[in-house]
Structure 1
């Protein structure tokens, strides 16, 4: 059953500078990494927002047929906080009744629908305001923030991401184990290693 009160935001505005080309368009099992993330998100919610920025024209056409809201963050060089702020504002305006926002990246290929379901289920059954993925002895995305944290998300600046809030409010975070969260695609070497698994 889909979650009608949680919006899912896929942050995909980065320039993939370390990779050298838009990693959102990397093909795996017949889909781009961004299409894969969208597919998993749509398994959980009909309220899905994709934030694009750098390489917008090269990426947007690959997902225009998807039932998602696509945002073009032209301020992406200012840092991830600009994408988070844009998405939070859009979620509030476009999806009345939303009480939580789940953020994920398209370069964590193992962040599948099962994991997203564990995060939303944990949120339902916990009085904690944040639910985060736990890997490499730390907390990170995918991460879910309940409504009490929307204002905090809007106040993030520059390169600050959700990680800052996870650290500041560690006592209000429920954890979901995600051992494969350490696999993300930042460089060509990362991509080669992933494809060898």
Structure 2
């Protein structure tokens, strides 16, 4: 069920990578009748994020076409090869253009098939009900994505570059962040056998 949108929140879908280990764009893999990129955008909208930004890079035209039927605004990262950090900055910059008063920014990957709108909406609600600078999914003993940050962290997110994505920010604020248990977070689609396993339902 779609939740009422919080217009001061945005979800940034990080969909710019080349998926070299998969051998084909994981953003365009289909599961249950939709691409992984479109699915991530849909989950963000259903979770109640007011804005959804899909950051493209490799295969930008195809990924853009895949999310065209969603509410997402596409932001292209021309320097996608330098790593996910730049895509974090590009997506957040686009969100701030659309909503200068933005208070919350969530970051979502396209390769976590067990992510649900419920997980995202609970994370956003938990952050709003706290004084923490952000909230991150907890799985396999680490904090990772999806993650949602308050506006006071935005300057650091906007300065990110390189292969580590938002990891430096997660590590810096680890003791202050809320941790949200996400049991299925450790399974992602990196290799062909991961996708085959997903399709088999195992």
TM-score range, shorter-chain basis?
over 0.9
For residue 61 of structure 1, what is the aligned residue in structure 2? 65
Match of 1:99 in 2: 103
Of the three residues 85, 92, 117, the one matched with 1:88 is: 92
Unaligned stretches of 5+ in structure 2? none
- Residues 1:40 and 2:50 aligned together: no
Instruction: Give the aligned partner of residue 5 of structure 2.
Output: 2
Partner of 1:129: 133
Residue 89 of structure 1 and its aligned partner are, at CA, apart by 1.2
Q: CA deviation at 1:74?
A: 1.1
1:15 to 11, 14, 18: 18
Query: Cα offset for 1:124?
Result: 0.9
Task: Select between 1-10 and 56-65 the one with higher mean Cα deviation.
Answer: 56-65
Shift of 1:157: 2.2
- 1:186 is aligned to 190
Alpha-carbon shift at residue 81 of structure 1 (Å): 1.2
Q: After superposition, give the CA deviation of every residue in 1:128-175 in whole Å (9 maximum; x if it has no partner).
A: 001000000100000001001001111222112112111111121001
Give the Cα–Cα distance (whole angstroms) in 2 for the partners of residues 184 and 53 of structure 1: 20
Tell me the residue number matched to 2:165: 161
CA RMSD of aligned residues (A): 1.1
Match of 2:33 in 1: 30
* Cα separation, 2, equivalents of 1:35 and 1:124: 26
- Distance in 2 between the 1:59 and 1:84 partners? 17
| Contact persistence 2:8–2:50 (CA under 8 A) | no
Corresponding residue SS for 1:141: strand
- Distance in 1, Cα, partners of 2:102 & 2:75: 18
Contact 2:114 2:184 in 1 (8 A): yes
1:20 deviates by 0.6
Are 2:81 and 1:77 equivalent residues in the alignment? yes
Count of paired positions: 197
- Separation in structure 2 between the aligned mates of residue 106 and residue 139 of structure 1, nearest angstrom: 17
Kept in 1, the 8 Å contact 2:143–2:174? The answer is: no
**Residue from 126, 140, 146 that aligns with 1:142:** 146
CA distance in 1, matches of 2:62, 2:170: 33
- Give the TM-score, by structure 2 length: 0.94
The runs of 5 or more residues in structure 1 that have no matched partner are none
